[in-house]
Amino acid sequence: MSSRKNIAILGSTGSIGTQALEVIREQHSHFNVEVLTSNSNAALLIKQAEEFHPQVVVIADESKFDEVRQGLRELPIKVYAGQEALADVVQLPSVDMVLTALVGYAGLKPTLKALEAKKNIALANKETLVVAGELVTSLATKNNCDIFPIDSEHSAIFQCLVGESHNAVEKIYLTASGGPFRGRDRNFLSTVRKEQALKHPNWDMGAKITIDSASLMNKGLEMIEARWLFGLEPDQIDVIVHPQSIIHSIAQFEDGSMKAQMGLPDMKLPIQYALGYPKRLKSTFQRFDFVKYPSLTFETPDTETFRNLAMATEAMIKGGNMPCIVNAANEIAVAAFLKDQIGFLEMSDLIEDCMNNISFVKHPSYEDYVTTDEETRRKALEFLPA
Ligand code: NDP
Ligand code: MG
């Protein structure tokens, strides 16, 4: 019998998905790919399936079904299409772990389905915890499932907490690179275009998270993600700007001691840690050289210029469906900015408008989240120029 862990990768054609496959290629004695999925990239999905021989592939865009089926007709691989199939496939009995590397709210339903089927999760899709963190983490606890974070900051905190189960966390510090516009003022930000925002100084990522990093919304989403992953109160979560991205985050305990996890910025490391936990698998990832980094620096984030971070913090404190509102508004805002429909600062105006106008629900059910997401998207679209 194979002792390899069977992995389903949702969003295998993206930045995290392709890096996860690089890790699995290197560590093939430990991991086997059971499921691969993409939104509409049929060509890469076919190529990946030819190499990794999953049991099943799913393409969310149904118009691409024939292309994928034709492309894989010689191989014994089942091909499905559509969002429903994406949510169903995570429940396959042979799947041990589901790696959620798709973008945005689309990750919520498959993650809940995976937890219902008692699968462990390697979670990159932070939006799922932002939207419905309480629901997701309580289902994981009820079904005895683990959620292993892939986001580098959360992987760092997770690693700092190994061996500390008897000790309470006083506070965590999530580090932020500050993005490409660190130190800039609102005047400058009013003129920036997507080409500038898409150039991240330290990380090469998908378009949505790169824009979120430039606006600091990413760090706001990560505060909410951390709240649910580590069971913290909002005032236990702080953000510190650290432009070199070497310290990936810090946990502070009740005696005042702090543990930090550090290393070169490379998502393959947190991906491999999540897949391989509790083992640290031997790897050839580039090693850190102290001489190349004579100083590691820290500054306070500028939440007056980068209002998204302040608004996400407010949403975290308010709770209920407010983070779901912020997330949906932000998804529409980022898509509109990427299509040159609105400017960089207008993204914050759109989010604020939705926060002020969508009905607040203190204790939302799953159906409430679905309704909130739909209503917010509708409202946000009204904000866009015709
Ligand atoms: P990408 O845009 O690079 O990739 C997204 C993947 O999900 C692609 O495979 C895409 O398919 C698929 N996808 C997108 N939308 C849908 C949808 N509606 N339904 C089904 N599949 C969909 O994103 P990233 O890899 O950068 O990010 C993935 C997640 O990981 C995000 O939540 C992000 O915040 C998080 N994350 C990413 C980091 C990074 O370094 N990239 C770091 C930390 C967290 P297709 O290729 O066909 O479009
Ligand atoms: Mg991160």
State the pLDDT at residue 202.
Answer: 87
Q: Please tell me whether the peptide bond between 301 and the residue prior to it is cis, using omega within 30 degrees of 0.
A: no
Domain extents in the chain: 5-149, 166-265+301-318
Give distance in angstroms: CA of 104 to centre of ligand 1.
Answer: 8
**Residue appearing with tokens 């890469």:** 44
Is the pLDDT at 161 greater than 90, yes or no? yes
Neighbours of ion ligand 2 (CB under 5 A): 151-153
Is the pLDDT at 201 greater than 90, yes or no? no
pLDDT mean over 281-297:
97
pLDDT mean over 36-62:
98
Give distance in angstroms: CA of 77 to centre of ligand 2.
Answer: 34
Closest-approaching ligand to the CA atom of 248:
2
Give distance in angstroms: CA of 45 to centre of ligand 1.
Answer: 14
Is the pLDDT at 265 greater than 70, yes or no? yes
Is the pLDDT at 100 greater than 70, yes or no? yes
Is the pLDDT at 39 greater than 80, yes or no? yes
For helices 108-116 and 126-142, what crossing angle results, to 10°? 20
- Angle formed at CA 163 by CA 162 and CA 169, multiple of 5 degrees: 75
State the pLDDT at residue 386.
Answer: 83
Nearest CA to ligand 1 atom 42: 151
Which ligand 1 atom is the nearest neighbour of the CA of 42? 47
Closest-approaching ligand to the CA atom of 270:
1
Could you count the other beta carbons within 10 Å of the beta carbon of residue 301? 19
pLDDT mean over 184-189:
98
CA pair distance 136, 108, nearest whole angstrom: 8
The token pair that represents 63 in the structure block: 């118009």
Is the pLDDT at 69 greater than 70, yes or no? yes
Give distance in angstroms: CA of 262 to centre of ligand 1.
Answer: 24
CA pair distance 101, 145, nearest whole angstrom: 18
- Asked if 274 and 208 touch (Cβ cutoff 8 Å), the reply is no
What is the dihedral sign for C-alpha 223, 106, 311, 307?
positive
Whole-number percent of the chain with pLDDT over 90:
97
CA pair distance 321, 298, nearest whole angstrom: 33
Q: State the pLDDT confidence band at 1, using cuts at 50, 70 and 90.
A: very low
CA pair distance 117, 100, nearest whole angstrom: 15
Q: Within 6 Å (CB) of ligand 1, which residues are found?
A: 11-17, 38-41, 60, 86, 101-103, 106, 124-127, 151, 203, 205-206, 209, 267
Is the pLDDT at 56 greater than 60, yes or no? yes
| Beta-strand relationship, 237-241 and 169-176 | parallel
**Residue appearing with tokens 């951390």:** 226
- Asked if 33 and 9 touch (Cβ cutoff 8 Å), the reply is yes
Determine the length of the chain: 386
The token pair that represents 307 in the structure block: 């209002």
CA pair distance 201, 284, nearest whole angstrom: 23
Q: In 3D, which of 155, 30, 152, 38 has the Cα closest to residue 97?
A: 30
State the pLDDT at residue 3.
Answer: 86
H or E element in which residue 8 lies: strand 5-10
Residue-wise pLDDT for 126-142, tens only, equals 999 999 999 999 999 99
Q: Give me the helices (H) in 166-241, please.
A: 186-189, 194-197, 207-215, 217-230
- Asked if 384 and 341 touch (Cβ cutoff 8 Å), the reply is yes
Which residues partner with 246 through β-bridges?
A: none
Closest-approaching ligand to the CA atom of 177:
2
Give distance in angstroms: CA of 150 to centre of ligand 2.
Answer: 8
Is residue 82 packed enough to be buried (19+ CB in 10 Å), middle (13-18) or exposed (0-12)?
middle
Which ligand 1 atom is the nearest neighbour of the CA of 102? 7
Nearest CA to ligand 1 atom 36: 124
State the pLDDT at residue 2.
Answer: 60
- Reduce the secondary structure of 54-75 to three states and give it as a string: CCEEEECCHHHHHHHHHHCCCC
CA atoms within 13 A on the CB side of 20: 34
Name the CATH topology of 5-149: Rossmann fold (3.40.50)
CA pair distance 130, 367, nearest whole angstrom: 16
pLDDT mean over 322-343:
98
Calculate the average pLDDT of the chain. Answer: 97
Is the pLDDT at 27 greater than 60, yes or no? yes
